[in-house]
Amino acid sequence: MLKQTRLLEEATARQIVQRAMGIIHHSVNVMDSNGVIIASGDPARLYQRHEGAVLALTENRVVEIDAATAAHLKGVKPGINLPFSFRQQHVGVIGISGDPLEVRAYAELVKMAAELMVEQAALLDQHQWERRYREELANQLLQPQTEPGSLDAMAAYLGLDLQQPRLVWIVELYDRQPQLLRDLLTELENTQREALIAMTHFNELVLLRPAMLQQGEWSLKQERRQAQQLLSQLQGRFSVRLIIGGYFTGLEGLRRSTLTARATQAMARRLKLRHKTLFYQDYPLPALLCDLGEDWRAQELSRPWAVLSEKDEKGVLRNTLRQYFYQNCDQTQTAAQLHIHVNTLRYRLQKIEAITGLKINNLGDNLQLYIGMLIND
């Protein structure tokens, strides 16, 4: 369904005149559906009513005017006038000034070109409006609260199913040049046609992509494959990072996917992760915990880590504990990662226990230290 607009805009009429006169070297006029000149090779004739155009529209025929006839008509010069149409509706008249015998050969070609340019302009206008609607729908879906009626209307116009499960993909652009962001947006609009795209920051785009389903179930494996394909596609032209939120169903699920993507993004920044792709599914606990801020519960959970920070001026013990957690509490792997002997590692862990009053081998104590690290790092 096309947005209803004026079918012949003055800008399009001026383009018709410029292109036609660049080829045939005769003055060309374009008249609207009322016979008024809205573009002309002779600016002095603009916005005059052309009687020859009115006659061509009224009788739906080509009107040729010689010098003798022109003398008896208002606002008319010798030439030929052809009505032209768009979607079976007359939108205006093309007038070519000159001896009708001379310009008749050009008339049909100019008329055909005019109709093609009006159609092109209408399609471009439609594309621009659909692009705006898609971006506005994406922005609305990312808001905490929206009116369902307005969402349904926009989705119906675009032919989209709002019940289709979608995931939030944050695309971070490392290079903050405005032109690169525009190029990236164009690239994604051309290749991610099923996604809704919103520009959320000067170096960030958000994609609302249909979830990858297999037999009705979400496939994390397929989602990873899609992320890798997108990175490969953008590689070389753009330096980006993808952050993918969790999978949830329904409109509320999309908002939850937004929250989990943002939490993963905050975690990555706080922990200074350099990964090119980050899935919430890989970091649920760190993502949910690392941005608790000044909440009193966060302060209580992180108190042992704060005590450790006060006593560990050079950060050796905290770095040891980080590596211990990163290696899933495997002492052999941790020692290898730190390039120290296992006995040295055990000594440091015992020192951490003495400072914090917690036991490394106790699950609850270990979890509290881990949460403190996530909150404070």
Burial of 361 (0-12, 13-18, 19+ CB in 10 A): exposed
In order of start, what are the domains of the chain with their CATH numbers?
Answer: 10-119 (3.30.450.40), 163-289 (3.30.70), 296-376 (1.10.10.2840)
Structure tokens at 356: 């914090």
Q: State how far the Cα of 228 lies from the Cα of 225, in Å rounded to an integer.
A: 5
Structure tokens at 343: 């006995």
Q: State how far the Cα of 301 lies from the Cα of 298, in Å rounded to an integer.
A: 5
Mean pLDDT for 65-91 is 84
In the predicted model, is pLDDT for residue 132 greater than 50?
yes
In the predicted model, is pLDDT for residue 153 greater than 90?
no
Q: What's the pLDDT band for 139 if we cut at 50, 70, 90?
A: confident
Q: What's the pLDDT band for 2 if we cut at 50, 70, 90?
A: very low
Mean pLDDT for 219-243 is 94
Q: State how far the Cα of 71 lies from the Cα of 78, in Å rounded to an integer.
A: 9
Q: State how far the Cα of 250 lies from the Cα of 166, in Å rounded to an integer.
A: 9
Q: Which of 9-13, 132-136, 233-237, 311-315 has the lowest mean pLDDT?
A: 132-136
3-state DSSP percent of the chain in helix, strand and coil, to 5: 55, 15, 30
Residue 81 φ/ψ, nearest 5 degrees: -125, 125
